[in-house]
Chain A
């Protein structure tokens, strides 16, 4: 397996198949915490951490427990439970080790359980068939890198979007369009821009 595989995986999941704008995962936090760039950065960090760790865990569970026992059809339940417990654990852990980190990251963690981007990436990793192409363990590498790329793509888009929205506060928007409607149209225009990256890899 050549290193280009990882490069392609990261570019593909970060830009070409951007998780928010082209795959519609994680729209709730995308709209919910993008009013200010500070909160956007905090949320991105939390998402990145949970996404990468949960990807590794769900991947291992899928290929070392669900597949051998021939019960891949319960993957949805298994994944959501893993993610929910993981988020709980991380929250308790962060609370213990650093009050400061907890203040900046902790408040986003409970929101993450209902962030479909996390379970969406977990499901995508097993659906993309990395394990069939590269073998189970090398496939884990590709899956992890893709998850990282997806999280980076999330961070990139949500940060850019939050800066736009900060500017928008000062703009004179017709009352019916204020808030979410105009934001969605802007997201649409951003998605158009990302469509230009299609076929990059």
Chain B
């Protein structure tokens, strides 16, 4: 990502990661965990929370040390920083949310290979101050987490007809909401591997369709505006011509 031409406000830095530059649905980054740990809403959100920690912290540290690191060792240094936070987050998860740790399994250490984290470190944190980098990391990670949550929600609901809570994320209460009896439909395939691909594919198509619709609307609005301007110009011309004609007359 190129350096922003003019400084956008902090709020804009935060929200761009959620919608305009959503890591999963727009940038297609981090699709491995988006497929692998989204068999339920909670695991998806749980992964999101871990990424929030890792991405925000690594962005802060990278931004802090960005002037000290010579270019030759930029990538290895960032890898160490990211891997350190991943390891720390992994240990904390195992200690305080063992169920989440078990269900995310190998995908916790694999956060280290998530292109989202490295790309934010290189493209944003290494060129911006600490505050902006932190907000950028937070926004991107929240966007990532929300995307995973949405995928998880869809898959869990389609497969089980209900949304469980308190199972993987240690909440004070445990239970499930909704709870339609959809067992006869036999849609367990949606928590399986195939369901992951299809659900993400469908959501991408939906967002594409919205995007296309919006751009069509914008184009129409633009066309209308151009039309209007043209008309105005033509009218002005006409008027001028008439005026000049009248003046000369």
Which residues of A come within 8 Å of B, CB atoms?
A: 21-28, 31, 73-77, 79-81, 84-85, 113-116, 118-120, 123-124, 127, 175-178, 180-185, 187-189, 191-192, 194-195
| Distance of A118 Cα from B87 Cα, bound (Å) | 18
Interface residue from B91, B106, B208, B212 paired with A127 (Cβ < 8 Å): B106
- Measured CB to CB, the closest approach of chain B to A201, in angstroms, equals 18
Pairs of residues from A and B, 6 with the lowest C-beta to C-beta distance, nearest first: A184-B201, A188-B197, A188-B198, A24-B36, A176-B209, A116-B113
- Measured CB to CB, the closest approach of chain A to B57, in angstroms, equals 15
22 contacts between A and B (CB under 8 A): A24-B36, A25-B110, A31-B31, A76-B86, A76-B109, A77-B83, A81-B80, A120-B106, A120-B110, A176-B205, A176-B209, A177-B208, A180-B204, A181-B204, A184-B201, A185-B197, A187-B201, A189-B194, A191-B193, A191-B196, A195-B193, A195-B194
Q: CB-nearest residue of chain B relative to A194?
A: B193
| Distance of A116 Cα from B28 Cα, bound (Å) | 15
Residues of B within 8 A of A119 (CB): 109-110, 112-113
The answer to whether residues A123 and B106 also contact, given A28-B31, A175-B212 and a CB cut-off of 8 A, is: yes
Q: In the complex, how many residues of chain B place their beta carbon closer than 8 angstroms to a beta carbon of chain A?
A: 42
Q: CB-nearest residue of chain A relative to B38?
A: A24
Q: CB-nearest residue of chain B relative to A81?
A: B79
Residues of B within 8 A of A177 (CB): 205, 208
- Measured CB to CB, the closest approach of chain B to A129, in angstroms, equals 14
B193 and A24 contact, CB distance less than 8 A: yes
| Distance of A115 Cα from B29 Cα, bound (Å) | 11
A80 and B83 contact, CB distance less than 8 A: yes
- Measured CB to CB, the closest approach of chain B to A112, in angstroms, equals 10
B115 and A114 contact, CB distance less than 8 A: yes
The answer to whether residues A195 and B192 also contact, given A114-B118, A123-B109, A184-B204 and a CB cut-off of 8 A, is: yes
A183 and B212 contact, CB distance less than 8 A: no
| Distance of A77 Cα from B29 Cα, bound (Å) | 21
Residues of B within 8 A of A22 (CB): 193
User: Which of B28, B32, B36, B189: most chain A CB closer than 10 A?
Assistant: B32
| Distance of A134 Cα from B183 Cα, bound (Å) | 43
User: Which of A114, A127, A175, A178: most chain B CB closer than 10 A?
Assistant: A114
